[in-house]
Amino acid sequence: MDRIKSAIAVMALTALSSMACWFTASNFNGNFIHGVNNFAQHYSGAAATISNATYTNGMQVATPLTVFIKVHARTADQPGEEAGIKEVTRAVLQYRVRRNGTWRSAGWTTVKEYNNPNWDMNVDVPVPLFGSNNISPSGLAAGDEIYLRLYVTDGVYQSGDLEEAQDNLVVNNTETVDSYGDRDGGGFPPPFMFRVVYNGKRRIGF
């Protein structure tokens, strides 16, 4: 029984240690939500250091949304890791809508997922990796908040916890490495979490 308890404790610690470890000085400019449409920018990718990186949220946008993503292999920089490049093995884009402080669904909706693709998930510039004009939740009203979150993993470390609903999520208009907090226990630090506000309009042609 003691061995079982020890094993469970080790697994729990391992899970916790692998949460949100993508947001490090070596990797913060490799994977992030760049922005939506033409163009509400969440992050430019131009900060020279992680302490200078600023992530912007709360912009007014029309639907449908096209989300631009930067994705790249992770540079091994965790304690005890063997040096090298760790390729992304899975990437998921999700959204959730909140109206007047109340979530309109019990969980997150997956826009698209890549799981062990037969190509290297490395792009030098942000692209609409998960498709174009494909986020347009039904029943939206002007002022509704649309939250976007990007999950990436190399099979060991990940950008957050997909199983966490993050019901008490707070995303400030400006986020930095020092201000984002724990994201309600689900990880997803500033590069991977973007909040926009629906302006009540449709984009022309869609």
Task: Check: CB of residue 44 under 8 Å from CB of residue 125.
Answer: no
d(CA 44, CA 35) in angstroms, rounded, equals 8
What does the mean pLDDT of the chain come to? 88
How is residue 157 written in tokens?
């470390």
pLDDT at position 204:
87
| 36 HSE (CA, 13 A, CB side) | 29
Can you tell me the distance from the alpha carbon of 174 to that of 180, in angstroms, rounded to the nearest whole number? 9
Residues 93-109, mean pLDDT to the nearest whole number: 97
pLDDT digits (tens, 9 = 90+) for 48-63: 999 999 999 999 999 9
Which helix (H) or strand (E) segment holds residue 15: the answer is helix 2-17
